Structure 1
Amino acid sequence: MADNGNVIFRQQLLSIDENLGKEDVEDLKFLCSDFIPLKKLETVKSAQDIFQLLISKDLLNRDDTFLIAELLYMMKCNFLLQKLAYTKEIVQQHLPKRGRVSGYRQMLYEIAEELTKDNVKDAAFLLRDHLPKKQSTMSALELLTSLEKKSLLMESDLSILEKICQKIAPQLQKKIVMYKQTKVPYQGIKETVPSPFCGFNKPTFGTTLLQDPLLPKNHELPCTEEFGSLEEHIRNFHSLAENQVVKAEPIFDPSGPSLKQAVRKNEAAAEYKMDGQCRGYCLIINNVNFEGGLRRRNGSEKDAMELKHVFTWLGFKVEKYDNQTSIEIEKLLQDWQTSENWKDSDCLICCILSHGVSGKIYGTDACLIPIRTIMSYFTANQCPLLAQKPKLFFIQACQGGKAQQPVYLQADSNNSISLEPDAQSSGFVSSHQLTSSIPAEADFLLGMATVDGYLSFRHVHQGTWYIQALCNKLQLLVPRGEDILSILTEVNEEVSKRADVQGLKKQMPQPAYTLRKKLIFPVPQDPFVPSEQSSDMQ
């Protein structure tokens, strides 16, 4: 029986290893550098190697897998927690009492996550006399590790990190300030509970120690020492807030609600409800063929099918409408406005793929419809069943531009493949136009393929830059627990890097929103399986 338990334990670790990539392994190495000597970490090639080192130090065993759950949670790989019989919520509950990764290590990791390649390059230049020669290929984690190896960065001396952040990324200084504030001693709480890691026992605001779902009910945790400060509690509160700015508040009264209860309440209030009977409906309006001299939008079907595939995977019921005139679009919106389907739905997604001008999109009859009009059908007054629920609109259409001629991309063959703009007019309108397209009421998000006044581009075979990037980032980041605004920021970055073969044509998407909370899509039970439609994408 014991042997069978060990086999199951090893299978769990193997399954996690199979779902972690090279960058994830680097993250694990960095987060474990307080537990495992750097010399040994240099030999690590896979997550399996790290797990074995943790097992050899008795930090990980079949009866206590919480450390791995903690690491996966910090890496935002929440979809892997189920392999250890955990959920994101259970890990959050356990962290204040059982977390082992130090606040110092967490702070460095969070800073590394937000440093861009350009930031790292600038930091390496400033520190060129202290770093290895391979500065040009150094990652943010490698930069911080190199500083630690040379004793230029340590828990008791953050001066060089502060100076570097001040020079290259001033916005990250608040993380250092917040961490340093946790070092202030607090003598008001004396009660302690045993911690599973010697020397890291923490004061508690309650009397019940939460159990690991894989531990026996009466399992005793080793080591009991006092820890006479609020450092660990504030540190873990910062971690649970998932990088949100935490404003100064009075210290919790031990006789009042527990910290974990407050955190759960705050988190629940800060996220849209996404656990209803129906995730919602995704409406896709795909206009390809137009009247009045408007060009055929070759490649749009690729976008439409990819959107259908991704949002079906996310749990939405997808309805696709091809080649809709302006009158048909308005009739369609009226029908959905009065639909009873929204009663049990969490969310509305509406994707419109068409030609456009500033603040408007074309129906196939060459008549324009203001984007604001489209969205106004679903305000709380016009569609009460969607009141206080998130309503997301993704618009793939140009919003102006001076050029309509195709831009040619070089293909893998000898034939050139055209990249076309989704515009049929030119002219620039002020950037105020985008925000004024959103109804004044709350809970809307408008994702535009391009900033106002500019072209957006569509490959005649591979689809548009924006929609393909949106689908790719949803596939990648939803399983990691990222919210929609973080995902759209990644979409912005990916599209902004695209260009035609001459490097002269660029595109910059732009989201605008009146969301009041974080919108996080639940992680699908099944892994994403690329459709045949997307398998031939480069």
Structure 2
Amino acid sequence: MALPEQLQAINQITEALGSEERRTLLYLCGALDPDDSVSGMREMLTRKVMQHDEGGHLLLRELMVTLRRFDILRRVFKSSKEEVERTRPHTPLLPGFRVLMADLSDDMTDEDVSSVKFLFGNRLPRERMEKAKCFLDVIAELEKLDMVSSDSVNLVEKCLSEIGRMDLVKKVTAYKMSAGTSEQCSFQQQTERLPCRPPPASPCNNLPQTKPGQSFHSGNIPVSVYRTQSPEHCPDYYKFSTNPRGVCVIIDCVGNDGEMLEQTFKALHFKVILRRWLSVAEILSTLTETLKMKEIQDGDSFACCIISRGTESKIFGTDPHALGLDLDRVKRFFTATGCRALVGKPKLFFIQRYSIPGYQPPTLREHRDEDLETDGYTERPKCNAIPEDGDVFWSHCSIDERQLERGQHNSVYLKALVDALYKCQRRKTHILDVQTEVNGAIFDHNRRNPDTNYHIDVKHTLRKELYLH
């Protein structure tokens, strides 16, 4: 291809690429602070083509393959990906390190990029991180500080491991082995033992790490749910693959957010039971009937969502003057004592409580466990290895009942929960990452609305890693 034809091809390429693609192309060509305008890219490509003499068209074709713009490859160069790979010269036209970084960036979701930016928040200037739009922007900043390079990718490998993208970790490891970097050590063996990421360091998270079953209390500010793990011992994973995944019972005694939760858990392949405007007696009846469902026995998990007025330890349903139902008792229906079919399976509880200020409980008879019929599931399991309250994830959020008086109220907590669970439909997401995202949304709300603060209490006794999908 003669030079005039190459220049014509450059014009066609610059007109076809979007802004993000231009930035990727310029990064591949060696620019860390690129002018990603059309004229800036045209100038860069012209300079590169001139440097390669008659091989300039090979460079342009290689760039299109790396950008995955096979349509331009066909239209401008009358070529295909297979032909480019077959005729590729022995000496690489593009740096392998930068091709790898571009490939990683293309495979990352917006959530991945946000996690990466969070991890490097303490290492890179804040204003630069705010401007970073993609993974390549972060890598470019790290390159400027000589923290990553073609011969130093351990930091990238560790970062990808911490955000749970082990598929991308394998690509970096393969690059290290093929490129013969100085870091061909034992990182791959380490990361294979670490399929879940530890919590990133953050000034906002300077709190002691918690153990399973320990409650998180932070006043008006929810804290992150930490996932701690030792490299010497990585827990197993809960099975989460049956269809349906299990039963999700939703009790909505307020009437605003039940349908939103119903659609979300249906999308996560749960058998969903939605009941509205229930009294305490009707809540008890619903829980009892849920225990008898076939999906309880066959499913891999269980979920319960409750939206109701109440106190710190009780929910009231729609009863005007009821003593209420103890929340701990609700949980016990589905633990080892109450339901043998759920022994060893993860049990998820999400509670949105509307607190009644100055509530004084009436002297009424409280509902007792013996008032319930659990269809044979009340027998204590024979296996003593699993604690009675094992495998429980408990997320309990409260706000003043007076919020319900403000027209069509919707819970910030439940909206954040639905948004976080929606992402599980696209790729596997750890339950603690779901809760951490919810915590962040509540923190932001409380900061902007100090007069309408949500309070959140999170605790769990999970014994294994739980990924929702």
TM-score by length of 2: 0.57
Greater CA drift, 146-155 or 363-372: 146-155
Letter in 2 for 1:346: D
Structure 1 residues without counterparts, runs of 5 or longer: 1-16, 46-51, 79-105, 126-133, 163-173, 180-194, 203-223, 251-265, 288-299, 403-423, 427-438, 523-538
C-alpha contact (below 8 Å) 1:450/1:456 kept by paired residues: no
Structure 1 CA distance for aligned equivalents of residues 110 and 141 of structure 2: 27
Q: Shift of the alpha carbon at 1:350?
A: 1.0
C-alpha contact (below 8 Å) 2:32/2:140 kept by paired residues: no
Structural mapping, 1:452-491, within 5 Å: 457-458=403-404, 460-491=407-438
C-alpha contact (below 8 Å) 1:279/1:347 kept by paired residues: yes
C-alpha contact (below 8 Å) 2:100/2:172 kept by paired residues: no
Structure 1 CA distance for aligned equivalents of residues 61 and 110 of structure 2: 19
Change in CA separation of 1:446 and 1:151 when aligned onto 2, cut-off 3 Å = closer
Q: Which among 306, 318, 328 is matched to residue 272 of structure 2?
A: 318
Change in CA separation of 1:328 and 1:501 when aligned onto 2, cut-off 3 Å = same
Q: Secondary structure at the match of 1:487?
A: helix
The corresponding residue for 1:441 is: 389
> In the TM superposition, what whole-angstrom CA distance separates every residue of 1:75-99 from its partner, at most 9, and x where no partner exists?
3689xxxxxxxxxxxxxxxxxxxxx
The corresponding residue for 1:259 is: none
Letter in 2 for 1:380: A
Change in CA separation of 1:481 and 1:377 when aligned onto 2, cut-off 3 Å = same
The corresponding residue for 1:535 is: none
Q: Shift of the alpha carbon at 1:237?
A: 2.7
The corresponding residue for 1:330 is: 284
Structure 1 CA distance for aligned equivalents of residues 287 and 263 of structure 2: 22
The corresponding residue for 1:275 is: 241
Structural mapping, 1:457-536, within 5 Å: 457-458=403-404, 460-499=407-446, 503-522=450-469
Structural mapping, 1:13-412, within 5 Å: 37-39=30-32, 43=36, 55-56=62-63, 59=66, 62=81, 71=104, 75=108, 112-114=117-119, 124=125, 137-139=130-132, 147-148=141-142, 150-151=144-145, 153-155=147-149, 200=175, 202=177, 230-231=184-185, 234=188, 237=191, 241-244=195-198, 247=230, 270-287=236-253, 300-365=254-319, 366-367=321-322, 368-398=324-354
C-alpha contact (below 8 Å) 2:271/2:295 kept by paired residues: no
> In the TM superposition, what whole-angstrom CA distance separates every residue of 1:163-201 from its partner, at most 9, and x where no partner exists?
xxxxxxxxxxx969x99xxxxxxxxxxxxxxx9999946
Asked which structure has the greater CA Rg, the reply is 2
Q: Shift of the alpha carbon at 1:42?
A: 5.4
C-alpha contact (below 8 Å) 1:446/1:512 kept by paired residues: yes
Letter in 2 for 1:37: G
Q: Shift of the alpha carbon at 1:349?
A: 1.2
Q: Secondary structure at the match of 1:281?
A: strand
Letter in 2 for 1:71: L
Q: Shift of the alpha carbon at 1:238?
A: 5.7
Q: Percent identity?
A: 22
C-alpha contact (below 8 Å) 1:492/1:510 kept by paired residues: no
Q: Shift of the alpha carbon at 1:494?
A: 0.6
Structure 2 CA distance for aligned equivalents of residues 196 and 468 of structure 1: 36
Q: Shift of the alpha carbon at 1:354?
A: 0.6
Letter in 2 for 1:313: A
Structure 2 residues without counterparts, runs of 5 or longer: 1-16, 39-58, 71-80, 86-98, 163-169, 199-227, 362-386
Which of structures 1 and 2 has the larger relative contact order (alpha carbons within 8 angstroms, sep 6+)? 2
Q: CA RMSD in A?
A: 5.1
Structure 1 CA distance for aligned equivalents of residues 137 and 105 of structure 2: 22
Change in CA separation of 1:240 and 1:76 when aligned onto 2, cut-off 3 Å = farther
TM-score by length of 1: 0.50
Change in CA separation of 1:44 and 1:356 when aligned onto 2, cut-off 3 Å = farther
Structure 2 CA distance for aligned equivalents of residues 370 and 249 of structure 1: 40
Structure 2 CA distance for aligned equivalents of residues 150 and 201 of structure 1: 21
Change in CA separation of 1:328 and 1:77 when aligned onto 2, cut-off 3 Å = same
Letter in 1 for 2:104: L
Structure 1 CA distance for aligned equivalents of residues 279 and 158 of structure 2: 51
Change in CA separation of 1:110 and 1:309 when aligned onto 2, cut-off 3 Å = closer
Q: Shift of the alpha carbon at 1:489?
A: 0.9
Change in CA separation of 1:478 and 1:271 when aligned onto 2, cut-off 3 Å = farther
Structure 1 CA distance for aligned equivalents of residues 425 and 401 of structure 2: 29
Q: Shift of the alpha carbon at 1:369?
A: 0.7
Structure 2 CA distance for aligned equivalents of residues 482 and 361 of structure 1: 30
Structure 1 runs (4+) greater than 6 angstroms displaced: 66-70, 140-143, 195-199, 224-229
C-alpha contact (below 8 Å) 1:346/1:390 kept by paired residues: yes
Structure 2 CA distance for aligned equivalents of residues 199 and 286 of structure 1: 51
Structure 2 CA distance for aligned equivalents of residues 69 and 386 of structure 1: 45
C-alpha contact (below 8 Å) 2:335/2:389 kept by paired residues: yes
Structure 1 CA distance for aligned equivalents of residues 172 and 283 of structure 2: 61
Letter in 1 for 2:284: E
Q: Secondary structure at the match of 1:463?
A: coil
Q: Secondary structure at the match of 2:266?
A: helix
Structural mapping, 1:413-452, within 5 Å: 440-450=388-398
C-alpha contact (below 8 Å) 2:423/2:429 kept by paired residues: no
C-alpha contact (below 8 Å) 1:391/1:445 kept by paired residues: yes
Q: Shift of the alpha carbon at 1:509?
A: 2.4
Q: Secondary structure at the match of 1:494?
A: helix
Change in CA separation of 1:136 and 1:336 when aligned onto 2, cut-off 3 Å = closer
> In the TM superposition, what whole-angstrom CA distance separates every residue of 1:511-532 from its partner, at most 9, and x where no partner exists?
211111222222xxxxxxxxxx
Structure 1 CA distance for aligned equivalents of residues 188 and 129 of structure 2: 36
Structure 2 CA distance for aligned equivalents of residues 321 and 398 of structure 1: 18
Greater CA drift, 498-507 or 440-449: 498-507
Q: Secondary structure at the match of 1:441?
A: coil
